Amino acid sequence: MARQRITIFTKAWKEPLPSLADKLAALGVDGVELAVRPGYQIEPGDGVAAGLSDAVRTFGGAGLVIDSIAGDVDERTIAACGDVGIGLIRTMARIDMGQGYETCIDALRRHFDGMIPHLERHGVTIGVQNHVGHFTGTAGTMNLVGGFDPARVCIVLDMAHCALAGEPVDMALDIAKSHVTRLANFKNGYWERRNGPEEQAVHKVRWTTHRHGTYDWRDFAGALRGTGYSGTVCLPAEYSEPSGAGQRMGDAILPFVREDLAHLRGLFGLAAD
């Protein structure tokens, strides 16, 4: 069996890519999921091809692969990924209740269907991640992508979001297993009450380390192994600020990252580097 590949999402860092590549390589990960978003080192638009080409060289020089990006699903981005060997674009299926659930799902299906010729031409896959809130959950994501070949449109299963919605690990993976082929996310969180007991309850998600969230990573790792999963596992590296207002950014998260990476390696039988 091939060694399990572990990557980390770069969302927490906006520093120049050369220093970021060296920093993440020192953690012992195999590669990254690169944020291609407004305000980041590489932004969507005309410069995405040149930006991804430079990023692949930069991370490759540090011994890391760019396994996936979190970015736009359009012809330009697909071509740019294919040209430099990045095989997966992760996205989410947002539901605008002003339009309604079915209307949004139909529009997304049509969009993905229109991208299939480009995905096939460039050898790229769309990975749709489930998400709590006004997005598709596990069943909704499977409803969206189930008619597509998972080689072109797959599911990025994030059990933290399943758990926040009260969905058990075994059921979530059973729903989605035919399309969980390329990437699985390991993070954790819980619903935190933000006001006093004498008021109408207000809750907000708090992102935390593996030990303190709503589900046990051991269950997800074991369930993935049980399906024969051979894709990448990714650490999204999302941790809330102490105040709960937003996510911690930059090197403040490194102690939590190291803790979670050590645990993740242990779950997949990988010795510490």
The reported pLDDT for the residue numbered 264 is 98
Q: How would you label 203-227 residue by residue, b for 16+ Cβ within 10 Å and e otherwise?
A: eebbbbbbeebbbebebbbebbeee
Cα–Cα distance measured from residue 196 to residue 187, given in angstroms and rounded to the nearest whole number: 28
Q: Output the CA torsion sign for 252, 255, 259, 265.
A: positive
The reported pLDDT for the residue numbered 272 is 56
Q: pTM of the predicted model, to two decimals? A: 0.96
The reported pLDDT for the residue numbered 244 is 78
The reported pLDDT for the residue numbered 262 is 97
Q: What structural domains and CATH numbers belong to the chain?
A: 6-267 (3.20.20.150)
How many other C-beta atoms are found inside a 10 Å radius of the C-beta of residue 271? Answer: 6
Cα–Cα distance measured from residue 144 to residue 93, given in angstroms and rounded to the nearest whole number: 9
The reported pLDDT for the residue numbered 273 is 44
The reported pLDDT for the residue numbered 152 is 98
Ranges under pLDDT 50 in the chain: 1, 273
